[in-house]
Chain A
Amino acid sequence: MSNRRSMLSTLNNGGGFSYLLDLYPGALVAYSLRQLISTYPSSSRCIRIRRSSDNAELDIYFVSNVVDTASILSFVGSGDGYVVRFCNQLDTSGVRDAYQSIALNQPLIVQAGVLCTQNGKPTIKYTSASQLLKASSTPLLDTYENTMVTLQKFNNVAGYKVVASAGDTGGDNIFCHIGWGRSSYGRTLYQLTTINEDGTTTLNQEIWVGRSSIISSTNSLYMNNVPQILSLPYVPFHTDSRSMLIGNDDYGSYIDGNVQEVVYYRSYLSNANASGVTLNLNNYYNVY
């Protein structure tokens, strides 16, 4: 193992909390219920939530690098709690925070007084095709290189499902779109009008790293650090400006499951870095 790989392995495996984006910088947007970068100010929120009892809202911050679940539960009480704002940890101005201003379109973080969790960690739960968090005020920039990192769990294998998308018009007009293309298609990179899939369906919690490079005519999809064999060798993504969508493609293809982390790089991460990112997530979330 090289000195750099050895160092990264050490940082990922021990010695306190390991900030993903300190180790693997360069992401354009990053959303998570854990703190991803050490320089994110303590005065900056993680999420904003709404409670069902009276529809009041509250900003929720990090405590010891994790979303403040005690404040969430205290505020929500015995009802439901919804995420109305998922903050981009790479820009405290909020211009690329993912919002939802329509009450019925907001995903859950508390259900009947119980915190939504996946494998013991808090999660955002999508239960309806209308639920979506969208960063629309400042679109992503034109790009020829993409890497999308997601941690999710699907709750059923029927129909199209989307974990995250850098594309706001739904349907065919997507350029970096990671999800699930019907039960027979399995893990999928949606590209233009093409479904590029590995054919494997699962209800397991998984870490996905999807990449595409127009420059090198390459794409790939890693699942839990294992490269998946896709149905197509390469299909270019769109290169125009889109918004980041979490949990839904804004066209009714929603995850029907749990999303805990979405990070989008406007670059094609190297194999080593894609592996390192996966390792960092796995060390925290214990996925595999």
Chain B
Amino acid sequence: MFTKEITGYKYLLEIDAINAVKSVNDYYTLPDEAGDVTKEWVTYNYSNNFNYWYIYSNESLVVILGEPSIFLV
């Protein structure tokens, strides 16, 4: 099992990750024209090693989610 250190946002409950993603995707609207591939701004992931959910950091998220932290996935 490989583990990695990442910078991002960690959630113990999936519903909290879902709500975080929703708040970001509501903030950043996308054109959604016919043929467009891009559907959302961000998504969340699950750590099989540590049984929590997380979002990778990006400067565009700080205004909504605050400062990220460093943790293992």
CB <8 Å contact, B38 and A172: no
The B-contacting residues of A in range 232-260, CB under 8 angstroms, are: 251-253
Which of A85, A105, A128, A160 is in CB contact (< 8 Å) with B43? A105
Q: Which residues of the other chain, A, contact B58 by a CB distance below 8 angstroms?
A: 104, 128, 130
Q: Chain A contacts of B56 at CB under 8 A?
A: 104, 128-130, 252
Contact B2 A103 (CB under 8 A): no
Q: Considering only CB atoms and an 8 Å cut-off, how many residues of chain B contact the other chain? A: 25
Chain B residues, CB < 8 A from A102: 38-43
Task: Verify if A271 is at the interface (C-beta below 8 Å from B).
Answer: no
Contact B40 A56 (CB under 8 A): no
Task: Contact check, B48 vs A101: say whether CB atoms are below 8 A apart.
Answer: no
Chain B residues with Cβ below 8 Å from A103 are 28, 30, 38, 40-42
Number of interface residues of A (CB under 8 A): 28
Among B4, B5, B33, B38, the one with the most A-chain Cβ atoms within 10 Å of its Cβ is B38
A55 near B4 (CB under 8 angstroms)?
Answer: no
Contact check, B31 vs A172: say whether CB atoms are below 8 A apart: no
A245 to chain B, nearest CB (A): 14
Proximity bits, B52-63, A CB within 8 Å = 1, else 0: 000010101100
A253 CB to nearest B CB, Å: 7
Which residues from 1 to 19 on chain B have a C-beta closer than 8 Å to any C-beta of chain A? Answer: 1-2, 4-6
Identify which of B2, B38, B45, B60 contacts A101 (C-beta below 8 A).
Answer: B38
**Cα–Cα distance between A193 and B39 once the two chains are bound (Å):** 34
Q: Is the interface of A mostly helix, strand, loop or mixed?
A: loop
> Does A100 make an interface contact (CB < 8 A)?
yes
Residue-by-residue, is A153-164 near B (CB-CB < 8 Å gives 1, otherwise 0)? 000000110000
A121 within 8 A of B: no
Q: Judging by beta carbons under 8 Å apart, are B2 and A251 in contact?
A: yes
The minimal Cβ–Cβ distance linking A163 to chain B, given in whole angstroms, is: 16
Q: CB of A57 within 8 A of chain B? A: yes
Q: Check: A99 CB closer than 8 A to any chain B CB.
A: yes
Nearest Cβ in chain A — how far from B55, in angstroms? 8
User: In the bound complex, do residue B2 and residue A171 qualify as a contact, i.e. CB atoms below 8 Å apart?
Assistant: yes
Interface contact B42-A159, CB-CB below 8 Å: no
A172 touches B2 (CB 8 A): yes
A169: nearest chain-B partner, CB-CB: B48
Given A85-B37, A128-B58, A252-B73, answer yes or no on A172-B1 (Cβ-Cβ < 8 Å): yes
**Which of A128, A130, A171 gathers most chain B CB within 10 Å?**
A130
Contact A101 B40 (CB under 8 A): yes
Residue of chain B at shortest CB distance from A84:
B37
Contact residues, A36-63 vs B (CB, 8 A):
48, 50, 54-57, 59
Q: Is the CB of B2 within 8 A of A106?
A: no
Residues of A within 8 A of B5 (CB): 159
CB neighbours (8 Å) of A193 from chain B are 1
When A and B form their complex, which 8 residue pairs have the shortest distance between CB atoms, in order from nearest?
Answer: A130-B56, A84-B37, A101-B39, A103-B41, A102-B43, A252-B4, A57-B36, A104-B42
Given contacts A100-B38, A102-B43, 15 further A-B contacts (CB under 8 A): A48-B35, A50-B38, A56-B33, A59-B35, A84-B38, A85-B37, A100-B37, A101-B38, A101-B39, A102-B41, A103-B42, A104-B58, A128-B58, A129-B6, A172-B2
A residues touching B (Cβ–Cβ < 8 Å)? 48, 50, 54-57, 59, 84-85, 99-106, 128-130, 159-160, 171-172, 193, 251-253
